[in-house]
Amino acid sequence: MADGPFRFQQGAGQFFFNQQNHLPRNLQRTGSPVTSGRVGFHPDAPSPNRSPGPQSPAHNPFGMYNQPHAQQGQHAMLNGNSHQRFAMQMNLAKFQQQHQTHQHQNHQHPQHQDHSAHSAHGANFGNHQHTMSGGLTNATPHFAGNHLQNGTPGSVHSSLSKPPNEHWGLQLQYAQHAREMTMSHSHARNHPSTNKSIVSGQTNGIVKEEKEERHRAAKDAEKDDGQIWKALDLGGQNLKVLSPALFDYTFLTKLYLNYNKLTFISPAIGRLRNLRELDLSLNELRTLPPEIGMLVNLRELLLFDNNIETLPYEMGSLYQLEMLGIEGNPNLDEQMKNIVVEHGTTELIKYLREQAPGPEPPAERDWVVLDDTPVTPEDKFMVLSYNILCDRMATQSHYGYTPSAALAWEHRRDLILQELRARESDIICLQEIDSESYNEYFRGSLAHDDYKGVFWPKARARTMTEREAKLVDGCAIFYKNSKFILLDKQLIDFGNLAINRPDMKGEHDIFNRVMPRDNIAVAAFLENRQTGARLVLVNAHVYWDPAFKDVKVVQAAILMEQIQKLTEKYVNWPACLDKAPYRYANGDKDGETEPPEPPPEPAPSQVYTKVEQMPLVLCGDFNSTPDSGVYELIAHGQLSNDHSDLGTYNYGHFTKNGMSHPFALKSSYSNIGELSFTNYTPGFTGVIDYIWYSTTALNATGLLGEVDKEYMQRVPGFPNYHFPSDHLALLAEFTFKGRKEKKTVEADFGPQRERR
């Protein structure tokens, strides 16, 4: 069913609530879980299950359940005795042969005929709730003014007539249940972990339908973080405001604020991003904050019996929402209400998502200066690294919170090109760029900006037809032709190199885990036309799956091994003699009629005698956080053979002797403690992209900074209208370190030299 499952099943988690029937005005601080001890039974005590409070429909003379007879249109669970519950919309004919008496704790009550002294009856029975007594056979149901218990007119669809469809029928069942939860902590009291009378697997008349979640990313919320309780029930407390401290409980997965007097919800609700159930029913809400769109893990959002007039478009981000309870909001926008009535929750969320105008553009990312020592433009260069999210992977099933217009490749590729041009980087490294996009869009477009490119697709493209191979992504390097000369280019195919290593032949783990992952890296050997300085540039994309940390480490080890071999070859590379760039007679740029001034005479190629002297920049998407084995290997130059990321797998010399490389590499963003994130989605937010540089030959002088913090408060994930990929573009500026040479310095003895 489109409107999803019901919530109450055993094993859903521990609740935290103060186990009292009447709480003082000043609530006690909720600091730890209550004990599992059970309160002794008292004959005048209210039912711990569904007995209503004084303001509930059972005792409200204007409520929809109150009639001038004892018959009440609802069975209830009374002190542990579970009865079948009938929903409002069921045909009354089904009730005609029901039992004519009412049982309470094995004691028979005769049918009450006179309810003129109803207040006295309430005094005798406290919060006791009546059940059906059989009078409906010949009686006409009576509802006073079609009002709910908080005085709000109900929907025309909430009458006893048959609901128009299945999902609206389920909506009415949810609403019916919400109107019964009028005691303090009703949700907690009805949960199997606290109410032993509820049998595991039963859902009080509403069956939960399991929904398979495909393409589900590993979420931090699903890990065992040691938190004992993750559900909080503050229902029925007459709360008018919520303490800001509540929104520090970011571990919460269920929050019940029903049957209070809340008139607004703080924007800080957007911090509770692990919430799966949020009940705001039976309050006095008129609006919802846009930040509620940050709760992308929500499955149920219940807003029954409020005064909400419209829903924020930001709720279109709630792509996993299965039940949106809107019944009992008489002033709700008619179009929104009709969508839910006719098509269900999913269709309304889609409508809000597609009609959303999008957030305001963020402020420009700051430029962080690391070293302001003056250098000539020829001695510095900038490198941009960007996983642009290939079109094949940008689907609604992966990014359900993103409007289809923002996911469209035509929109995203134009936005990517705009950013590449705006950054004016000397070198651009792109990951997840497919063959078709490289050949038919980016290569030609960037050629107008003085870029030349190198590209290889992943290894699988070799086994496909030409048409299929166009959609295979790979890695591309673009460089400014006026500044660099391409001396060499190489493909680093991790899987192919692994299976051809002598020490790994016969290793089953290589064939079963490493070889099927066709990730690659692309290397380019460049020379600065003016200074003669050389540079090894590598663009890599490591396997993504968190369950294959060992594969990531092996790919990184093979990568560093191949970079070492290439650098050993490049230190002996012959000098470049022809450095003049090709130019058109009338200039390179459109509209340029006069030939530009000839550049200064280029310097000869610099000579490098050791691998450690060669400038090296390694960038890409490593799909590894700073606490991973991949990061440790690259940053520290070695990794033990018993590192936890390797598990118990066997990978030849790597798992026998460990891994190492000779380069002194540093993440450029580690100079500011890394960014807050480089990949931003609801399922994962963290740093997995890097620009590494050799500290022996290069200095990092500047970085592109963080995304606007205020903007991020309303954006649940990338991509969106302003960020075309789920990754951030990284940009770093470097300078070549000066080559130290011994010079003869003549001593200066001041005026004494004039005596000669």
Q: Is the pLDDT of residue 579 over 50?
A: yes
**pLDDT recorded at residue 590:** 57
Segment 192-216 shows an average pLDDT of: 44
Given a cut of 80, whether residue 317 has pLDDT beyond it is yes
Count of H-run helices and E-run strands, the chain: 16, 25
pLDDT band at 86 (very low <50, low <70, confident <90, very high): very low
SS3 at position 659: strand
Mean pLDDT of the chain: 79
Q: What is the mean pLDDT of residues 530-536?
A: 96
In the predicted model, is pLDDT for residue 106 greater than 50? no
Reported as type and span, the H/E element at residue 490 is strand 484-493
Percent pLDDT > 70 in the chain is 70
- Average the pLDDT over each of 142-156, 399-413, 434-448 and give the range with the smallest value: 142-156
Q: Is the pLDDT of residue 67 over 60?
A: no
pLDDT of amino acid 583:
59
Token pair listed for 508: 């089953």
Q: Which two tokens stand for residue 506?
A: 């016969």
Contacts of 589 (CB under 8 A, 6+ apart): none
Amino acid 107 reads: H
pLDDT of the residue at 699: 97
Sign of CA dihedral 491, 496, 500, 504: positive
pLDDT band at 594 (very low <50, low <70, confident <90, very high): low
- CA 452 from centroid of its chain's CA atoms: 35
Lowest-confidence region among 365-374, 580-589, 693-702: 580-589
What is the C-alpha to C-alpha distance for residues 331 and 311, in angstroms, rounded to an integer? Answer: 11
- Concatenating the DSSP letter of every residue in 92-108 gives GGGGTTS-SSEEETTEE
Q: What is the 3-state secondary structure (H, E, C) of 539-579?
A: EEECCCCHHHHHHHHHHHHHHHHHHHHHHHHHCCCCCCCCC
Looking at residue 211, what is its pLDDT? 36
Q: Give the predicted TM-score (pTM) of the model.
A: 0.75
The rounded Cα 94 to chain-centroid distance in angstroms is 47
* pLDDT of 109: 43
Candidate ranges 345-359, 570-584, 735-749; pick with highest mean pLDDT: 345-359
Kindly state the helix (H) or strand (E) to which residue 499 belongs, with its residue range. Answer: helix 494-499
* C-alpha distances in Å from residue 308, one per residue of 89, 192, 325, 355: 24, 32, 12, 19
Residue ranges per structural domain of the chain: 367-579+608-736
**pLDDT: which is higher, 756 or 399:** 399
Residue 60 has pLDDT above 70, yes or no: no
Is pLDDT at 27 greater than 50 in this prediction? Answer: no
Residue scoring higher pLDDT (85 or 343): 343
For residue 42, CA distances in Å to 79, 570, 722 come to: 10, 88, 62
Element holding 540 (H helix, E strand):
strand 534-541
Region 72-100: what's the mean pLDDT? 38
d(CA 651, CA 551): 10
Instruction: Specify the pLDDT at position 186.
Output: 85
pLDDT at 359: 82
Q: What is the pLDDT of residue 159?
A: 46
Q: What percent of the chain has pLDDT over 90?
A: 63
Paired sense of beta strands 380-387 and 427-434, if any: parallel
pLDDT at 629: 97
Least confident window among 39-53, 168-182, 275-289, 589-603: 39-53
In angstroms, the CA 446 to CA 450 distance is 7
Average pLDDT over residues 460-465: 90
Can you tell me the mean pLDDT for 678-696? Answer: 97
Q: Which residue has the higher pLDDT, 98 or 372?
A: 372
Mean pLDDT of 165-193: 87
Q: In this structure, is the dihedral angle defined by the CA atoms of residues 42, 43, 46 and 51, taken in order, positive or negative?
A: positive
Per-residue pLDDT averaged across 436-453, rounded?
A: 97
pLDDT of res. 104 = 41
Q: Is there a catalytic annotation at residue 621?
A: yes
Checking if the pLDDT of 668 tops 50, the result is yes
What band does 506 get if pLDDT is binned at 50, 70 and 90? Answer: confident
Give the tokens for residue 375: 């250098």
Closest alpha carbon to 175 in 196, 152, 143: 152
pLDDT at 114: 43
Asked whether the predicted pLDDT for residue 115 surpasses 60, the reply is: no
Residue 350 has pLDDT above 60, yes or no: yes
Of 124 and 317, the structure prediction assigns the larger pLDDT to: 317
Helices (H), 577-693: 629-636, 653-657
Assess if CATH 3.40.50.1370 describes domain 367-579+608-736. Answer: no
**Who has greater pLDDT, 1 or 613?**
613
Report which secondary-structure segment, H or E, holds 189: helix 186-190
Average pLDDT on 522-540 reads: 97
Residue, of 592 and 205, whose pLDDT is higher: 592
Lowest model confidence (mean pLDDT) among 41-50, 158-167, 207-216, 501-510: 207-216
pLDDT category at 193 given cuts 50, 70, 90 is low
Considering 20-29, 58-67, 88-97, 703-712, the range whose residues carry the highest mean pLDDT is 703-712
Burial of 424 (0-12, 13-18, 19+ CB in 10 A): exposed
Q: Which residue has 């969320």 as its token pair?
A: 349
CA gap 447, 172 in Å, rounded: 61
Work out the average pLDDT over 382-396: 96
Quote the CA–CA distance of 206 and 6 in Å, as a whole number: 6
Q: Which of 434, 621, 689, 726 is catalytic?
A: 621
Looking at residue 150, its pLDDT comes to 44
